[in-house]
Structure 1
Amino acid sequence: MQQDFGHSGTFIHYIEEINQIKRANPANNVVSCWDQLKIGNCQMTLTSHVSMSTPKADGYMTQLSKHFAHKIKVERTGNAVVFHFSAGTVQALAEGDLLTLSAQAKTAEHLHEVENIVGSHLERFAFRENLRVTWPGETGVE
């Protein structure tokens, strides 16, 4: 049985990811967060993801990019954008009619903050199609 660790996924998935990094970089002395737990230096990052279908996925991502670029660091590469907020980051990926958002932060409070910032802006930009952004752990009306 896998134990759920909230927004960060399962612990088993985390260990598998660390082992892949170690196998790919055996000479780099990669020390995992698991190893660091013994000395209290672990800084885990919480993540959450949401995907929505919209015919304007790329357009909304561009609109978000232009809006936030006046306030924060925004990096765009092809069909992907990273928004760098002080509380955390949000990555957006537009693939056809699918827009996927991935939020990352060090605390649950900061994760909720960046989810709300990007989600509320996207909902305002997409008001004509009544797009709703419902992050994991939220209840929303679709």
Structure 2
Amino acid sequence: MRDLKSAIRTHLYQGPIDPDTVATITSALETATRTLETSMTDTQAGDLTLTAIADVPTPSASKYLQQLCKHFQHKRPVNFDAQHGEISFAIGTCRLDANDQTLTLTLAARNEEEMEQLKDVVVRHLVRFAFREDIPIEWRD
């Protein structure tokens, strides 16, 4: 990154950057981004041996699913629509399924410590988004 900053600074001192240089810099940034995203999703499905499931009763299941996914998509790989979502964390995954009355959370992690961290992260955020409700979250392992 330091080399990239230095190269850009040098080119800026020399005057406007030509289109070929812009293309080269863009390509380098895209490659770095892909590498970073890959390293952030170092959890492979085969490594995840523990699961925990919680059925959260709420008429706002789809709303909370979308809020959680939108919140985490700024830093984590996320896929979602109104009824289903998946968030990939370095310590595991969170799958979300919503229907009219229930938000089902399915967590997968490699070990107990990471499972507890994953539960903590998901619950803290869900409780924050659902502050108007007192939602019970009980995990089945």
TM-score range, shorter chain: 0.5 to 0.7
Q: Show the counterpart of 1:47.
A: 51
1:134 Cα shift?
2.8
Cα deviation, residue 53, structure 1: 1.0
Check the 8 A contact 2:66/2:80 in 1, yes or no: no
Shift of 1:78: 5.0
Distance 1:130 1:89, change over 3 A: same
How many residue pairs match? The answer is: 96
The answer to whether 1:109 aligns with 2:123 is no
Give the distance between the partners of 2:131 and 2:58, measured in 1 at CA. Answer: 12
Name the structure 2 match of 1:12: none
Shift of residue 69 of structure 1?
0.5
1:43/1:59 CA distance change after superposition, 3 Å: closer
1:125 aligned partner: 129
- Compare the two structures and name the one with the higher helix fraction: 2
What are the within-5 Å matches in structure 2 for residues 47-86 of structure 1? Answer: 47-77=51-81, 79-86=83-90
- Aligned-residue Cα RMSD (Å) equals 1.8
Structure with bigger gyration radius? 2
TM-score normalised by L of structure 1: 0.62
Structure 2 length normalisation: TM-score? Answer: 0.63
Gaps of at least 5 residues in structure 2 are 1-45
Matched AA of 1:97:
Q
Amino acid at match of 1:118: V
Pick the aligned partner of 1:89 from 93, 101, 105: 93
* Cα separation, partners in 2 of 1:115 and 1:48, compared to 1, 3 Å: same
- 2: CA distance between counterparts of 1:123 and 1:107? 24
Deviation at 1:131, TM superposition (A): 1.6
The residue type paired with residue 100 of structure 1 is T
Identity of aligned residues (%): 35
Give structure 1 stretches of 5+ with no counterpart: 1-41, 138-142
Post-superposition Cα deviations, 1:49-73, rounded to whole Å, max 9, x if no partner, equal 0001111000000110110011101
Deviations 1:16-71 (A, max 9, x none): xxxxxxxxxxxxxxxxxxxxxxxxxx956100100011110000001101100111
Q: Offset of 1:96 from its aligned partner?
A: 1.2
Name the SS for the 2:132 alignment partner: helix
1:114 aligns to what SS in structure 2? helix
